[in-house]
Amino acid sequence: MLTISNTVELADWEIEITQIRAQGAGGQNVNKVASAVHLRFDIPGSSLPSFYKERLMALSDQRISKEGVVIIKAQSYRTLEQNKEDALQRLKTLIQGAVKQEKTRRPTRPTKSAKRRRVESKTRRGKTKALRGKVEP
C-alpha cells in the first residue's frame, strides 16, 4: 500500500515494479546483479479519484506517456530495496505535486513613496552623469 493522502491509497497490484540492470560504469557485481528498478503505474486504470487522474494527465512531465502510464527508473542506490523505496517515493511526490493547489498571483502596485524614491535616484544619477561632460576653458 502506498499512502498518498489521508483518503487516497494505492494498492500493490496497481504498481508494477520490475528489476533491471543499472546503467553506468562497471564495478563489482554491476553486470551480474539487477538492482535497478522500473516502476510502471497506469493512471487511467488506477483506483485514484477522477480529480487526481485529470490533474496527472494534464501534467507535461516526460515520465508520463501519452497513454497515461507513469514510468520511473530508480538506480541511485546499490540495493534493490532502496531503489524500490526511492521509486515509490518519487511516484508519491509526483502525484502529490500534481494535486497541490498553487497560489494565484495577485498583481501589486508600487507605493507612492517607492515611486518617489525611484524618480529621485534617477535624477541623482542623471546629475552625476551630466558632470562627466567636457570641461570648457
For 68-102, how does the pLDDT look when each residue is reduced to its tens digit (9 = 90+)?
899 999 988 888 899 999 999 999 999 998 888 88
| Any domain includes 62 | yes
Q: Which domain holds residue 71?
A: 2-99
- pLDDT score for 72: 93
C-alpha cell at 91: 511516484
pLDDT tens digit string along 13-31? 989 999 988 887 766 666 6
Task: Give me the CATH number covering residue 18.
Answer: 3.30.160.20
Q: CB within 8 A of 9, min separation 6: which ones?
A: 1, 2, 3
21 within domain boundaries: yes
Q: Does residue 8 belong to any structural domain of this protein?
A: yes
Domain count, the chain: 1
Distance of CA 84 to the CA centre of its chain: 19
Question: Could you tell me the three cell numbers for 18?
Answer: 520490475
Give percent above pLDDT 70 in the chain: 95
Q: Is the model's pLDDT at 3 over the cut of 80?
A: yes
- Would residue 68 count as lying in a domain? yes
Neighbours of 43 (CB within 10 A): 22
**pLDDT band per the 50, 70, 90 thresholds, residue 114:** very high
| pLDDT of the residue at 33 | 76
- In this structure, is residue 55 part of a structural domain? yes
Structure-derived torsion over alpha carbons of residues 115, 118, 124, 129, reported in degrees to the nearest 10: -130
Q: What is the pLDDT of residue 28?
A: 66
Residue 35 has pLDDT above 90, yes or no: no
Q: What is the pLDDT of residue 109?
A: 95
- Whether residue 132 is contained in a domain is answered as no
Please tell me the distance from the alpha carbon of residue 92 to that of residue 99, in angstroms, as a whole number: 11
In a domain, 43, yes or no: yes
Residue 37 lies in a domain: yes
